[in-house]
Chains A and B, each alone.
Chain A
């Protein structure tokens, strides 16, 4: 197990460098960011040159990348164009997005798996059909439609929630945005669980458990569910990264000042430092979440062993 983890961690190193290099190059291709700093007019050449020097943009790209990476390893993620250290932006943004992601994951697990188990055990019944139909609707409607609709109905028409989340983004204000963010994945989780449950419900070990006279509840939770959750866990694990990075739309709609907001602003302002810094952290989150998923397999399925 320990060696497996170490091997996986070592594998992350090339992925990490590759991903950051790619992002670095992509942001660079967009052109000279300094031009956007002086509004509608051209920056005077001297100030522009000075700014380029300050942000290291006067050097060749490979050198910029090396300097940047060197700094990253000392914990310095550079400075955004508004003079704020990127590390400070991260300290502001990540807690908010993590909170939002947790709310979303919570909904995915609680609602998604519950619905999945119910429909999986009652295949073909009305409840199954209606939930299936509902998930189809959720999957086919884009997030920004759900988001804007809920915002307008709950926020403006009925006045139940505030349409915009306050800068501190406390948990209670994140319930609706979290639900919106989770909606599509939630539908997938439901369907995944349903299929998995339905399949395993006919397997030998479930029949044996039933034949042993175990109570139905125990059969479902201990035997059926545990084995059926493997694909679902994989999905949720990879979804953590996707939710954190993909929250741009939801964060925009509800004015949440999280990772999506910083990334969006960074891209618009072509702030290499901001974009690369945030994406690097997201890549790390993605990799770690994947590792965690793989380790969870062993917990869920004793047959799987890592050496």
Chain B
């Protein structure tokens, strides 16, 4: 160790000669309740507005800086009242919302009914380019403010009415009994007047009503968040703050964690999964997240929409050795899928691990029989399309193809079809240009079974990329949405899911877990069902 110390000293001396920076301990400073956690981050793709953030990196910040009417319990995913005192409805269409008293933004402004209504009007307005505008699509008047083509004819949502300082009413355009449970999504967060009055200033340093305030923000490289001592909620931050540092490469973040310069890495690189347990001596978590990966089919292509299609697709599903792929390629950070939802919903929420049953079980002999009966793979070869720029998609697509090829006893029955960038991949999907099955992943917006089914498989739904359409399925979803009793609604959704299974509309592959590694300095680390670390509960030693 002596040698190393000398070397350190030498390096420091050299460094000191060049610039006067402190040498020694890295990472964030402080300890105990005032200790600051340093965590890995990625540059948010879109401007950091609540209704404009649709990926995890921006979501991390919003989760710290904002609190909405509801909040999803970090452990169970259950939607619990946060700023909502009560949300009443008698017909599943008209909702009366009362905001709790005593909440303010960190700049002192009171959180009122108007804070919500203004924010939602802003989010839904086509003129503001908000990526999550469709979240407000259930509210009456949305099509006037956000028409499919042409200019908006309104400036506010006609379904929103302020009835008092802390009360407002919402009128939906259709029955949606579980709508209040969607309100935990960041897009529904309240916004202070500063957001509208000085938009650029707000973006440079967002102001919200959550347990943290933004202390400094260097776009593209680092954001320092500090505990807001005046936070009125019950989920106060248990640490002094969080420094989010942008890492281009999660390998670097992981290396820096090992070197003790970083406290939390919430994206352990695939290549390190094998060693992560020994490297971090147990300071590693791997918990289910609301993400499911599937293989979708191009139903706009006649070859893939043949009468025997369900048999063919079920055959393909049974030809995939999910267990082996999740064990070897993903090192158990994925779990073989047994339905079309996610374990984070819990059985009460509609997750059912027996729903797919034999159709999702690996049986090469049965698979070959089914595929042969259906007339074989269309054209003799299928291409699984995926984007090659992120994730380890190539690995698993090749493995899935291998599995199918082995079951069929052919070498080239299934091949991968990589596409350079995610944007190009998405572009070809929206233009209905998929030559065969394609990778489809779904990260839930809110922990409801409805969110795993309707946007993906309902006729012409926003993310029904394969253009699958089934009257029985649509009818069951409609009935479920109109059902005011949650248990009954869930049961109806499950019936709809059975239609999915019988038709094998998309092949469920696996549920994705969130994983994170952390340093000695911190404890009580957890990931919520959206695979975002629960920053406010982290304790610093």
Contact = CB atoms under 8 A, between A and B. Distances in A.
Interface in A88-124: 88-89, 92
B347 interface: no
B8 A172 contact: no
B36 interface: no
Interface stretch (A43-51, A198-206, A237-245, A295-303): A43-51
Interface in A240-285: 251-255, 257, 261-262, 264-265, 267-270
Contact of A156 (B7, B46, B259, B465): B259
B127 A50 contact: yes
A156 B147 CA distance: 55
B259 A82 contact: no
Contact of A39 (B16, B19, B55): B55
Given A44-B134, A156-B258, A31 B428 contact: yes
Nearest to B419: A31
A163 B251 CA distance: 10
B44 interface: yes
Contacts of A152: 255
A223 B306 CA distance: 83
A42 interface: yes
Interface string B1-29: 00010011001001110110100001000
Given A42-B462, A167-B218, A172-B18, A36 B422 contact: yes
A164 interface: yes
B375 interface: no
B399 interface: no
Interface string B127-169: 1011101100000000000111100000000000000000000
B148 A46 contact: yes
B15 A167 contact: no
Interface string A164-191: 1011001111010000000000000000
Given A31-B421, A252-B252, A45 B129 contact: no
Interface string A17-53: 0000000000000111111111111111111011100
A161 B252 CA distance: 13
Interface stretch (B60-68, B90-98, B241-249, B529-537): B241-249
A264 B246 CA distance: 14
Interface string B212-239: 0000001111100000000000000000
B156 to A, nearest CB: 17
A166 B430 CA distance: 40
Contacts of A88: 219
A42 B46 contact: no
Contacts of A143: none
A167 B255 CA distance: 16
Contacts of B262: 164
A35 B430 contact: yes
Contacts of A84: 219-220
Nearest to B16: A172
Given A36-B422, A162-B261, A253 B249 contact: yes
Contact of A163 (B18, B255, B421): B255
B346 interface: no
Contacts of A254: 252
Given A31-B421, A39-B54, A162-B259, A45 B19 contact: no
Nearest to A261: B248
A160 interface: yes
B442 to A, nearest CB: 6
Nearest to A80: B220
Contact of B426 (A35, A44, A51, A173): A35
Given A35-B426, A47-B131, A92 B253 contact: no
B421 A81 contact: no
Contacts of B32: none
Contacts of B261: 162-164
Contact of A172 (B14, B46, B426): B14
Given A35-B423, A37-B46, A255 B253 contact: yes
A73 interface: no
A288 B21 CA distance: 33
A159 interface: yes
A167 to B, nearest CB: 4
B443 interface: yes
Contacts of A261: 248
Contacts of B426: 35-36, 38, 42
Nearest to A103: B18
A255 B251 CA distance: 10
A40 B146 CA distance: 21
Contact of B21 (A32, A40, A172): A172
Contacts of A265: 43, 248
A43 B248 CA distance: 26
A151 interface: yes
A42 B389 contact: no
Residue of A32, A37, A84 contacting most chain B CB atoms (<10 Å): A37
Contacts of A155: 255-256, 259
Contacts of A159: 4, 8, 259-260
Given A30-B421, A39-B443, A160-B4, A46 B54 contact: no
Contact of B441 (A40, A170, A267, A269): A40
A-B interface, 4 closest residue pairs, ranked by CB to CB distance from nearest: A36-B423, A172-B15, A167-B221, A83-B47
19 contacts: A32-B423, A32-B424, A35-B426, A36-B424, A42-B462, A88-B219, A92-B219, A156-B255, A156-B259, A159-B8, A159-B260, A167-B218, A172-B16, A173-B21, A252-B249, A253-B251, A255-B256, A262-B220, A268-B422
Interface of A: 30-47, 49-51, 54, 81-84, 88-89, 92, 151-152, 155-156, 158-164, 166-167, 170-173, 175, 251-255, 257, 261-262, 264-265, 267-270
Interface of B: 4, 7-8, 11, 14-16, 18-19, 21, 26, 43-47, 54-55, 126-127, 129-131, 133-134, 146-149, 203, 218-222, 245-249, 251-253, 255-256, 258-262, 389-390, 420-424, 426-430, 440-443, 455, 462-463, 465
